[in-house]
Chains A and B, each alone.
Chain A
Amino acid sequence: MSEFQEQLLHADEERIKICRKYLSGRNNQIIDQWEDPDFGLYYKIDRYGFIHTDKLSRDFDEQERKEKEVEIQRAQKWLKMVKNWNKFKETNREKLQRRIYKGVPDKLRRSIWLKLLNIENQMSQPSDNKNEPSIYNKMLLLGFKYSTEVRQIDNDINRCFRDHEYFRERYSTKQQQLFNVLVAYSMYNMELGYCQGMSTITAVLLIYLDEEEAFWALNTLMIDKKFAMHGLYIVGFPKLMRYLANHDKILTKFLPKLKKFLDKHNMDSVLYSLKWFFVIFVERIPFSLCLRIWDIFFLEGERVLPAMAYTILKLHSTKLLKFKDMDAITDYFQYKLHKNFGYTDNFVIKTLEISLNELRTRKMDLPPPSDNIELPKCELGTFIEPTIEKKLGLRSSCFSDTEKNVTDLVIARSEENGNSLDVIDENLADEMSNLNTVTNISDYEGELSYMDDDLDDEITYTNSHQNRKSLTCTSITSISEDRRSISTLNQQNFEEIVKDDDGEYRFKELISNSIDCNT
């Protein structure tokens, strides 16, 4: 056997070993003590399932209690809305939007996400043969056999939301589901494969959705034009680069003093905003606020991202300007804002609405469109032969041209930011008025009430009203057109694998058998 064959065999064995562990779950295997975090001393699980090792403050409890109370009051209205979703969507869009901005009751989040991401339609695709496994199951089966991303996915699951009750235990049911969804998706969309960040996104989806639903939700986020996160994650991160450039422009225009300050401290936005865009603010702002952003993101699409990034900086500008070094600034962005954002969720959402409106007026709500296509070029479900290095699980030796360009671009960015201090001066005067806007909203905060829909109409500041009008122009889902291509999957490939099944379809065993065949 040649050395190459040996290495390939080793890589295969490793993949199979990992897949087996996830198939077995927590039972039927010895789990190294090292794999499970020690939470013997935890005090409390918050309403979203996160475990806090510090005792939560009384304020925190009080806030949770209030939130729940409001949600119970609203639940009836929401239930009605979910029941008549299609009708409601057509005739009462404005109300739907208003309600989502005010906060989806946590109990109904699952139903609302399923609706907003059009999951049910994607899952109920007609199939010719009832015994035939779903696209998801086919992809999962293929993924277990061929995915070259298994190692990376396993690594990331091992450190994803380990402070959450669902993901705390190694190989728990949710960890298994997370593994399955990511492995299956790495096969379904092979141009993208797997990129760090996707595990976090999928884990949040799995807190609310079931396995197969999460798969389709992930797919929607990646390939639906409304979100098109595919371009964020593929090699070279083309969409991220456009977002960063736009973000810099927004700062130069609206927060020039802060921009100058951040540049002076070499705080390139690459250093603080990557997670904002990659994982939609998860672990950078408190989870309750993050969910509200996700709800609005699902409704409005990607323009929420630049607006929220701007909102964070707008709200914290005064504080940030006082920091003396990069260390303090980084700490603030990475940890402090996650622990305590300093403003109530409702207030942040109101500010976000204003930001959306400001950016839209200046046509900066989205970066200029890309010259290149940032969506999958091949049909989804097409098998793309991985490179030898990928099969072996080794880093490729050379940087591709795309990668080289990105490196140059990032270097150029930081140099340019150093040189752009003059342009910024011109915008400084504007910034003062922007900061005033923020102060103005805080005047309103005490008066705003989120207890009832009808009160909404009485909120007086005009920005928000204009904003809502323009919100009605955006579409809720545009995925159904895109889904057509999926039905023409590369059938042959899957049939080869599923053919042996004699009538009754037993998926788990099938996978087990198929990896056995490989060994």
Chain B
Amino acid sequence: MSEDFDLLFKIVLIGDVSVGKSCIVTRFKTGNVFTERHTNTIGVDFSMKNIKIGNKRIKLQIWDTAGHERFRSITSSYYRSAHGVIIVYDITKRNTFLSLQKWLNEIRNYTASNVVCALIGNKCDLVEGREVTIEEAEDVCNIVPEVLFYLETSAKENTNIEGAFTRIAEELMNRQSCIDDENQDGIKLGQSKSISNGNCSC
């Protein structure tokens, strides 16, 4: 198999039902398509996108999970090999923000300890319906050590979608090069064989 990338990162999207996880993935993947009516994600959906950061070709494996609580027994089994996790909530539904603690618990229980985490407040185009302030979300970001950064996005208007994925990829890339520098045997990333052998655990 030819190697058409230098690094491979697995990113899992989690968050309450209907916060727009699948819309974010579709928007990121296609660039110009916003699907207003996604069907519900049953279990886990998978897609890929190649991006370039500097001179590195990066392949992102994106795992879009069902938000329905009943499916968490299946979705959580996909956390463990993730390099990055994006927690999504809906800025117009406070409940989805309040669930954050539960999602963080799931991350702590089921992912590797060095996972990179981002918090995304989606649907920021719906200004009038806002129920969660930017400050509140930033507070979470400051208090919770796992959460690396916070961004508000709109899958509908294509705001910050690519930025969110790029930023998480950059962070993973930096960590990767640190590890390379220290010559540690930590994350085994890159090389197409990490896909074929399923060795991309960290």
Residues of A within 8 A of B (CB): 34, 37-38, 152, 155-156, 158-160, 162-163, 195-197, 199-200, 233, 235-237, 264-266, 270-271, 274-275, 278-279, 283, 324-327, 330-331, 334, 393-397, 399, 402-408, 410-411, 414, 418
Contact = CB atoms under 8 A, between A and B. Distances in A.
Contacts of B68: 152, 195-196
B47 A330 contact: yes
B81 to A, nearest CB: 9
B198 A270 contact: no
A271 B46 contact: yes
B70 A274 contact: no
Given A196-B42, A327-B48, A399 B99 contact: no
Contact of B73 (A327, A407, A414): A407
In the complex, the 8 A-B pairs of residues with the closest C-beta atoms, listed nearest first: A406-B73, A410-B77, A327-B48, A162-B37, A403-B73, A274-B43, A155-B18, A395-B102
Nearest to A396: B69
Contacts of A265: 195-196
Nearest to B109: A399
B113 interface: no
Contacts of A414: 77, 198
A86 B20 CA distance: 50
A411 B37 contact: no
12 contacts: A152-B17, A156-B40, A159-B39, A195-B68, A195-B70, A235-B70, A264-B196, A275-B42, A330-B46, A330-B47, A405-B73, A408-B77
A288 B80 CA distance: 39
Contacts of A393: 95
Given A152-B68, A155-B18, A326-B195, A394 B99 contact: yes
Nearest to B71: A196
A392 B158 CA distance: 33
B72 interface: yes
Interface of B: 1, 16-18, 36-40, 42-48, 61, 66, 68-74, 76-77, 80, 95, 98-99, 102, 105, 109-110, 126, 195-198
Contacts of B95: 393-394
Contact of A271 (B17, B36, B44, B126): B44
Contacts of B18: 155, 158-159
A196 B18 CA distance: 12
A327 B8 CA distance: 13
Nearest to B38: A159
A290 to B, nearest CB: 14
Nearest to A197: B42
A327 B47 contact: yes
Contacts of A160: 39-40
Contacts of A159: 18, 37-40
B48 A325 contact: yes
Contact of B36 (A37, A196, A197, A402): A37
Contacts of B196: 264-265
Given A34-B126, A270-B44, 19 more contacts: A158-B18, A159-B37, A196-B71, A200-B39, A235-B70, A235-B73, A237-B73, A266-B198, A275-B42, A395-B69, A395-B102, A396-B69, A397-B102, A399-B73, A404-B73, A405-B73, A406-B74, A407-B76, A407-B77
A163 B39 CA distance: 11
B198 A395 contact: no
A95 to B, nearest CB: 37
